[in-house]
Amino acid sequence: MTKAGPLAPLLTALLQRDPTARATASQTAEMLDRVAFGDPSPAEASHRRSTKRHVLYAGIAAVVAVGVCVAVALGVPVVPGTKRSSNSSGAAAPSPTPSPLLGPSGLPTGPPTTPVGFQIYRDDKLGYSVAVPADWKISWDAKNETRDFYSDEGESIWVGLNEIDPLGEVFSVEELLKNDSNYSQYRRLRLSPVAYGPAVVDLEYSHYNESTKASYHCLFRAFSLTTKAYSVYMCTPLDDWDHSRDTFAAFYETFRPN
């Protein structure tokens, strides 16, 4: 897979071990279009880095076919890019498992229903509104240009605008996690397209944070809307993932661009 280039994300999505996490036919077609012809930048994001990807469909089909055939022949689906960080000073963390896809299928429309105990927060700087627990703290990280939501129990959600396309953003984040000395025991749990918007990719992973001396289960989702592209990080202490899922799902069910 190391020579797959821009096809690596597509091959990864097709070869997920969990059948429910694999790309569907329509998602595969969309990803092929984006690899072949590129992803147009939003109007107000002309400053973003542009990537030119002009790949012949015949070549794409051949590479995908080879990848699938190899996996079938071996009887073991290939999930590339799972290199662990060499930094392992933290205690060994239990092995989490991939969770079902988070949030609704398809981008919600219309006024959201605010869950009990939540409040609607409108972020005029980044251009969206969303429901978050009423007792969570909210701040602006000027250095990273993210809106941060967090609880006293260690749950956190960070929202920012993408600088590159969703697929590229996900792989940039994964490289950072693998090479940053503050994170060890990085483990990819799932990498897949998601039927949430026109171009959406999930990276679910776990890691040990050297600063907090704790292990976390996280979900990074990159997605494009009509005029903006967002990155959303969701993290919670490893043992609290099942409890935090409801909060994280409510985020996507109530997220609306302004």
pLDDT beyond 80 at 33: no
- Measure the CA–CA gap between 10 and 179, rounded to whole angstroms: 23
Residue 245 sits at φ, ψ, to 5 deg, of: -55, -40
Task: Examine residue 199 and state whether it is found in any structural domain, yes or no.
Answer: yes
- Measure the CA–CA gap between 195 and 30, rounded to whole angstroms: 11
Q: Look-up: residue for tokens 């994170």?
A: 183
- The pTM score is 0.65
Residue 70 sits in the same domain as residue 160: no
Task: Examine residue 122 and state whether it is found in any structural domain, yes or no.
Answer: yes
Residue 145 sits in the same domain as residue 228: yes
Task: Examine residue 84 and state whether it is found in any structural domain, yes or no.
Answer: no
Provide the residue range defining the domain that includes 59: 5-74
- Measure the CA–CA gap between 35 and 22, rounded to whole angstroms: 18
Instruction: Please identify, among 16, 49, 74, the residue that sits at the C-terminal boundary of a domain.
Output: 74
Task: Examine residue 228 and state whether it is found in any structural domain, yes or no.
Answer: yes
Task: Examine residue 96 and state whether it is found in any structural domain, yes or no.
Answer: no
Instruction: Provide the strand spans (E) within 102-198.
Output: 118-123, 128-133, 137-141, 146-150, 156-161, 183-193
Question: What is the average pLDDT across 6-28?
Answer: 54
Inter-residue long-range contacts of 68-73, CB under 8 Å, 24+ positions, other chains counted: 68/14, 68/15, 71/15
Range among 31-35, 38-42, 238-242 rated most confident:
238-242
Residues 76-95 have pLDDT tens digits of: 333 434 444 444 444 444 56
Residue 243 sits in the same domain as residue 134: yes
Residue 45 sits in the same domain as residue 166: no
Instruction: Please identify, among 18, 46, 74, the residue that sits at the C-terminal boundary of a domain.
Output: 74
Instruction: Please identify, among 43, 74, 105, the residue that sits at the C-terminal boundary of a domain.
Output: 74
Token pair, residue 100, equals: 């079902």
How many domains are contained in the chain? 2
Q: Does residue 182 or residue 20 have the better pLDDT?
A: 182
pLDDT of residue 5: 53
Task: Examine residue 203 and state whether it is found in any structural domain, yes or no.
Answer: yes
Task: Examine residue 108 and state whether it is found in any structural domain, yes or no.
Answer: no
Residue 47 sits in the same domain as residue 172: no
Residues 153-202 have pLDDT tens digits of: 999 999 999 877 888 889 999 999 999 999 999 999 999 888 877 778 99
Residue 68 sits in the same domain as residue 157: no
> Cα-Cα-Cα-Cα dihedral of 200, 203, 204, 208, to 10°?
-150
